[in-house]
Chains A and B, each alone.
Chain A
């Protein structure tokens, strides 16, 4: 995150924000930072950025959000999605951020196939976090 905040039109219209909007179908500017998503998120304690902070960085056009680990801890449980008073589907924004890395062949997530897993776990894990 930037220590000093300088806003500009170019920054607010950054192509990566447009890409997140396009992939997620969501408008990050609809968020008014109430924090309900973060309050109800069961995985927030493992995130480097809270869900509302992820949205905030998008609102500010801060590219640091692309390096965030939070989307890779999100389990797409949609608790935030059904509770957002502004109708922002935050889980879709998390998915868009994952997809932007995966489509470059990147994933920060390591697999530990330390045991036999049922197909239902593997299908989910492969689809969500492998390029």
Chain B
């Protein structure tokens, strides 16, 4: 069994626990032993865009040090916000002077030496390859019109994008491999409003309305996301009148198709085989 080190992030231990459980079960089925970092801290969720805010990199780099202590050169993430902040901080400290200053500040830690790469589940699955994945599918999701909602953090900025930032296909390939029918819709790469949900719920409600209507018009029966904040907004900020499209995590759909998680009734009834459970 191949071993991979895993950084969960706060949401995966809390409201997105189901995403973690499903993903880890699916990866085990695919032959990967997933080991959680023995200690880890919040990634920061939003990457600082100011040039001089070294403090914002301390949390992410501390996690990279934890991976370094485990002798790993790669950590797996499930939450797209964790992926984004950790990977960008890993890029940021490729600058030797920034790394020197962060190491000097963290006088309670061994120095980070660089070289730990941060990968997201969808990249990891892409590496595994369509053929191997397809062979592992025991309950193909035939008949399900599944729309991937990428949001921001898997695609932007370009340096950390898991695919083309405007025309991504990586999740659609996964959806096809799982036997479902990928649905493209105009809003699939557009922002849900993210953290504005706290100071400006009105704006987020508008955004979520646009996204859901766009997906609904394209015929989506369910949405896939890798972001706990997108899921929160899509579910909790749905305006009246917008279509009620259920939202699932990427790892959940994967686990259904690999037969390691029960297919929820609302999805099961949409499958052409009609099979559930």
* Chain A residues at the B interface, C-beta cutoff of 8 Å: 22-25, 42-43, 46, 72-73, 75-79, 81-83, 89, 91-92, 94-96, 99, 109-113, 117-125, 127-129
Q: How far is it, in angstroms, between the C-alpha of A24 and the C-alpha of B52 when the chains are bound?
A: 9
Closest chain-A Cβ to B11's Cβ sits at a distance in Å of 5
Q: Which residues of A contact B228 (CB under 8 A)?
A: 118, 120
Q: How many residues of B contact A (CB 8 A)?
A: 41
Cβ-Cβ contact count across A and B, 8 Å cutoff: 127
Q: Which residues of A contact B157 (CB under 8 A)?
A: 78, 81-82, 89
Given known A-B contacts A82-B156, A121-B195, A125-B198, A24 and B190 have beta carbons under 8 A apart: no
Q: Which residues of A contact B165 (CB under 8 A)?
A: 82
Pairwise interchain contact A120-B81, C-beta atoms closer than 8 A: yes
Binds A, one of B41-49, B70-78, B98-106, B254-262: B41-49
Closest chain-A Cβ to B200's Cβ sits at a distance in Å of 7
Q: Which residues of A contact B49 (CB under 8 A)?
A: 24, 76, 89, 91-92, 94-96
Closest 8 CB pairs of A and B: A124-B195, A77-B191, A95-B49, A125-B198, A78-B156, A123-B45, A125-B195, A92-B49
* Chain B residues at the A interface, C-beta cutoff of 8 Å: 10-11, 14-15, 42, 44-46, 48-53, 56, 79, 81, 152, 155-158, 165-166, 190-191, 193-201, 203, 207, 210, 228-229, 232
Q: How far is it, in angstroms, between the C-alpha of A22 and the C-alpha of B44 when the chains are bound?
A: 23
Closest chain-A Cβ to B182's Cβ sits at a distance in Å of 22
Q: How far is it, in angstroms, between the C-alpha of A4 and the C-alpha of B155 when the chains are bound?
A: 42
| Chain B residues touching A, majority SS | loop
Pairwise interchain contact B194-A75, C-beta atoms closer than 8 A: yes
Pairwise interchain contact A120-B232, C-beta atoms closer than 8 A: yes
Q: How far is it, in angstroms, between the C-alpha of A10 and the C-alpha of B81 when the chains are bound?
A: 42
Pairwise interchain contact B203-A46, C-beta atoms closer than 8 A: yes
Closest chain-A Cβ to B111's Cβ sits at a distance in Å of 25
Given known A-B contacts A112-B199, A119-B11, A120-B228, A127 and B44 have beta carbons under 8 A apart: yes
A41's nearest neighbour on chain B, judged by CB, is: B191
